[in-house]
Chain A
Amino acid sequence: MKNLLGAVTLELPVSRGCLKFIMLFFMVNTLGLQQPGAAVVPAGVTLHSTQTIIRNNGSEPESLDPALIESAGAANIVRDLFEPLTANDARGKIVPGVAERWSQSDALTWVFKLRPNAKWSNGDPVVAQDFVFGIRRLLDPKTASKYAHTFGDFFANGKDVANGKKPVSELGIKAIDKTTLEIRTETPITFMPGLLANPNLAPIHSKALETHGKDWTKPGNLVSNGAFVLKQWQVNSKVILEKNPQYWDALQVQLNQVTYLPVEDGNADVKLFETGENDWVYQLPPGSFEKTLQKYPAETRNSPMLGLRYYSFQTQSAFFRDVRVRKALSMVIDRDLLSQRVTADGQTPAYGLFVKGLEGAEVAAYDWAQWPMAKRVADAKLLLQEAGVKPGAKFTFIYNTSDYHKKMAIFAASEWKTKLGLQVELEAMEFKVLLKRRHDGNFEMARNGWIADYNDATTFLALVKCDSDQNNNFNCNREAEALIQQGSQQTDPAKRSALFTKATELVMADYPIIPLLQYSLPRLVKSYVGGYSTENVMDRFRSKDLYIIKH
């Protein structure tokens, strides 16, 4: 099962002179008090007498500890249990969470004002220090969180704290008073409110953690501050949450109980839905989308996501060292055919690093995307000829065993064979082996995919940045790198976006990857589940926003 959480590790060195300059021009930016956007039941809708939902979550959560979670499934549950400073509403929009408003006192300092009525499930007030404790703990090397750098590097001293070079007390987060939290960053992080909606950055009740030690996430022990509390957790069977009466917005929460199932098998998931034992199919099994759409037109939902399916070139391998070869291979794949006939599940063609719906940069496409295929093939043949690659040349493509990936790979291989005369050897392997080989650069071409951690261009730039842990293509464009760094210093969103867009164009001209499709999540959700939106590009649905319509 793929991990539906991507991540990013950003390195944003700062020039002090540049910072002073920015700060001179910096206007204090205060966001007005916003509606928290709980379950809004439209007029005319009658609610069902029992407000319970069963959501399949695709896999067993690896943990319910905000610092240790990494999969989309675990994040779904933790998002219901814990409320960070901000949150994504049903349409994915950033809304206040525990923080009722926030402002920037300068380009590098954010001040969050916590709502005074926010409470833990045991009745204790949620205070700024709980966030300081939770976020310091996420970065503490002793916690050994895989997300320590992903989010921690945005905080002042975050990188050093996560590496154990500085104590956690030096992290750029401070409780000014009980309801005021100050966060300092090393570079301007314009998307800070969106970033803070991640459940990894939730507050932690330090006393509950101390009392119960490693068992603090077990039912009966877990003290949480979200709309729901943990009632039951049986591994590989279910996690049951119950409405939290202490939650500050409890009046707006409609559901009384949420059951999360860990069903991995897509066919079993659909059967549970058909027999009424499940209201929410995590993801339709491959190849079943059109059939399901005909059978359940009102209940089949397909939301585009901030995610990219792509193939990585090992740009230092003998076969793909020449950019002309990489370009030729990218040009000849008919993405329309791939999306409409091969995967046939509503995913849309992608021709760039950024996908539709992403903020912080323009979604650009290669100019040849508009050309007729015959011209693309003719150009590609010419490029191969110039690069000295003769028809019949052979390379290896690696992917993790899955019908879906296999189908896509066979299609791509047939495109390269029929259009360019290249031979492709397809090699399937276990997911962990693929990850290892990709990370070690031990491949020629490999299947890859990425889901955004937050809605900003930088999450995708991590795939192509020079020293990024996520760069599997081993290509480094210094000119683009400089632009990305300039962009990271910008506080003007338009200038920042322009710099990132330009940087991406430069990188994409190196053809480090073959963008193929934008992810979507085709699933079944019962028609009586209210509050579901197909506009939620982050696929983050708080159960707080859902309700059951009379049926």
Chain B
Amino acid sequence: MLAYTLRRLLAIVPTLLVVIASVYVLLFSAPGGPFDSEKAVSAAVLANLQAKYRLDLPLWQQYLHYLSNLLHGDLGASFRYADWSVNDLVADALPISLTIGGTAIALSLVIGVVLGSLAALRQNSWIDVSVMLLGNLGSVFPSFVIAPVLVLIFSLWLRWLPSGGWNDFEPRFMILPIALLTFINVATIGRVMRGSLVEVLHSHFIRTARAKGLSLRLIVVRHALKPALLPVVSVLGPLAISSITAALVTETVFSLPGIGRLVVNGAANRDYTLILGLVVLITLVVVTLNLIVDLLYAVLDPRIRY
């Protein structure tokens, strides 16, 4: 398993190189550049700007420069946020996104598994119907619809929580965004868990366990839960990754200074270095998450060995 993990970690290097090269090509072939603004700049100023950011070099040289800086842990200077380096921006924004995204994933895992299991065990009861309704609502309504409803209820009507903003990890600013992401994720996890547990409970080995006269509680906890969690673990990876894309919406609606805002502003402003830095970061997160999921499979399923 250690050798497997190391192999997977080593595979990150070529993945990153390919990703960076593709982003380079995409960025530079997108029409419009970082220095196009309502106020047109003269050729002389444009030349100065390009020289300042090394954009006057041939593309391959820029690429090599970028890689060399990356090896030294330097993600470069931002175009959109001229006073900050990409390292500064990521260092400030990442903990915020991780706290909100991580808490939401953890909460939704616990709540989703509990609700999904309850629904599976009490199939076709009112609990099942409510969980499925919740699951369907969470899947049907996009985050940009749910978020303003949450704000309407908790900020404007009840006046319990701020409608947005951020103040140094103060919990009251985090509750609504975490609640929103949790709600969306619970919808998926709950539905998957329910379906998976129902299926496991109908399998032969559970029938055998029942025939042996084991209590339902023991059967579920000791025998059914582990295999039923496998599909949940498979969706966990993509779900965590989709939390990054969901952050684009949540962070805009709740005015949070996280990674999502940087992605949106970086892309709209053709901030090449910022986008590249974020892509490198997100690639690393995705690759690591996939690795964790694969390793978890081995823990949960005795048939899988690396």
Q: Which residues of A contact B (CB under 8 A)?
A: 2-3, 5-7, 9, 60, 62-65, 68, 70, 141-150, 162-164, 214-215, 217-218, 234-238, 261-265, 267-268, 271-272, 274-275, 277, 430-433, 435-437, 439, 449-450, 469-470
Shortest distance from the beta carbon of B55 to any chain A beta carbon, whole Å: 11
A2 touches B262 (CB 8 A): no
A405 CB, min distance to chain B CBs, angstroms = 14
CA distance A432 to B34 in the complex (A): 8
The verdict on B48 contacting chain A, using a C-beta distance below 8 Å, is: yes
- Which residues on B sit within 8 Å (CB–CB) of A271? 148, 151, 155-156, 163-164
Complex: how many Å from CA A90 to CA B130? 58
Closest partner residue, chain B, to A451 (CB atom): B38
- Secondary structure at the B interface, as helix, strand, loop or mixed, is loop
The 3 closest A-B pairs by CB, nearest first: A432-B32, A236-B257, A7-B39
A146 engages B45 (CB within 8 Å): yes
User: B244-279: which residues lie under 8 A (CB-CB) from chain A?
Assistant: 252-258, 261-262, 265, 268-270
Residues of A within 8 A of B159 (CB): 275
Contacts of A262 in B (CB 8 A): 255
A267 with B39, Cβ < 8 A, contacts A261-B165, A275-B162 known: no
Partner of A268, one of B31, B40, B163: B163
Determine if B70 is an interface residue (Cβ-Cβ < 8 Å): no
A144 and B48 in contact, given A149-B42, A261-B255 (Cβ under 8 angstroms)? yes
A311 to chain B, nearest CB (A): 15
A141 to B35, CA, bound (A): 15
Q: Which residues of B contact A144 (CB under 8 A)?
A: 45, 48-49, 51-52
Q: Given A60-B81, A432-B270, are A5 and B257 also a contact pair (CB < 8 Å)?
A: no
B232 at the A interface (CB under 8 A): no
Contact status B164-A469, CB under 8 Å:
no
Once bound together, how far apart are the Cα atoms of A437 and B40, in whole Å?
12
By a CB distance below 8 angstroms, the chain B residues around A3 are 37-39
Residue of A nearest to B260 (CB): A236
Q: 14 A-B residue contacts at CB 8 Å?
A: A3-B38, A6-B39, A68-B82, A142-B52, A144-B45, A144-B52, A147-B39, A150-B39, A164-B48, A236-B265, A432-B32, A436-B31, A436-B32, A450-B38
Query: A60 contacts which chain B residues (CB < 8 A)?
Result: 81, 265
Separation of A217 and B83 alpha carbons in the complex (Å): 7
Known contacts: A436-B32, A436-B36. The answer to whether A268 contacts B253 by CB under 8 A is yes
Q: Determine the residue in chain B with the shortest Cβ distance to A435.
A: B36
Chain B residues within an 8 Å CB radius of A218: 83
Q: Does B66 have its Cβ within 8 Å of any Cβ on chain A? A: no
Could you say which residues of chain B place their CB within 8 Å of the CB of A70? 37, 39
Report whether A235 and B93 are in contact in the complex, using a CB–CB cutoff of 8 Å: yes
In the complex, what's the smallest C-beta–C-beta distance from B36 to chain A, in angstroms?
4
- Give Cα distance in the complex from A435 to B52, angstroms: 22
Given A237-B165, A271-B151 in contact, is the A146-B36 Cβ separation under 8 Å?
Answer: no
Q: Report the Cα distance A214→B52, complex, angstroms.
A: 13
Q: Which chain B positions have C-beta within 8 A of A164?
A: 44, 48
Chain B residues, Cβ within 8 Å of A261: 165, 255
Least CB distance, A227 to chain B, in whole angstroms: 21
Question: Is the pair B36, A439 in contact by a Cβ cutoff of 8 Å?
Answer: yes
- Near A by CB (< 8 A), chain B positions 115-173 give 148, 151, 155-156, 159, 162-166
Q: How far does the Cβ of B271 sit from chain A's closest Cβ, in whole Å? A: 10
Given A65-B82, A236-B261: A141 and B48 interface contact (C-beta under 8 Å): yes
Residue B33 interfacial (CB < 8 Å): yes
- Measured between C-beta atoms, what is the minimum distance from A135 to chain B in Å? 16
Cβ 8 A contact of B39, one of A63, A275, A470: A470
Shortest Cβ gap from A541 to chain B (Å): 21
Q: Among A264, A272, A435, which residue has its beta carbon within 8 angstroms of that of B252?
A: A264
A62–B81 touching, CB < 8 Å: yes
What is the CB-to-nearest-CB distance from A279 to chain B, in angstroms, rounded to a whole number? 13
Partner of A432, one of B33, B88, B156: B33
Which of B83, B89, B254 gathers the greatest number of chain A CB atoms within 10 Å?
A: B83
Contacts of B199 in A (CB 8 A): none
Q: Is B84 an interface residue (CB 8 A)?
A: yes
Shortest Cβ gap from A546 to chain B (Å)? 21
Question: B155 near A268 (CB under 8 angstroms)?
Answer: no
> Inside 8 A of B252's CB, which chain A residues have their CB?
264-265, 268
A436's nearest neighbour on chain B, judged by CB, is B32
In the bound complex, CA of A163 to CA of B43 (Å): 9
CA A275 – CA B176 in complex, angstroms? 15
CB under 8 Å from chain A, chain B span 1-59: 31-33, 35-42, 44-45, 48-49, 51-52
Give A60 to B269 CA distance when docked, in angstroms: 12
CA–CA, A2 to B252, complex, Å?
17
Determine if B74 is an interface residue (Cβ-Cβ < 8 Å). Answer: no
Cβ contact within 8 Å between B42 and A435: no
CA distance A7 to B32 in the complex (A): 19
Contact of A235 among B39, B49, B92, B155 (CB under 8 A): B92
* Residue numbers in A under 8 Å from B194 (CB-CB): none
Least CB distance from A78 to B in Å reads 12
**Are A437 and B81 in touch, CB under 8 angstroms?**
no
Chain A residue at smallest Cβ distance from B253: A268
* A277 contacts B165, C-beta separation under 8 Å: yes
A contact residues around B41 at 8 Å (CB): 146, 149, 469
A235 lies within 8 A of B84 (CB): yes
Query: How distant is the Cα of A345 from the Cα of B166 in the complex, in angstroms?
Result: 31
Enumerate B162-201 residues with CB–CB distance to A below 8 Å: 162-166
**A64 contact set on B, CB distance < 8 A:** 83
Known contacts: A214-B83, A439-B40. The answer to whether A237 contacts B253 by CB under 8 A is no
CB distance from A493 to the nearest CB of B (A): 27
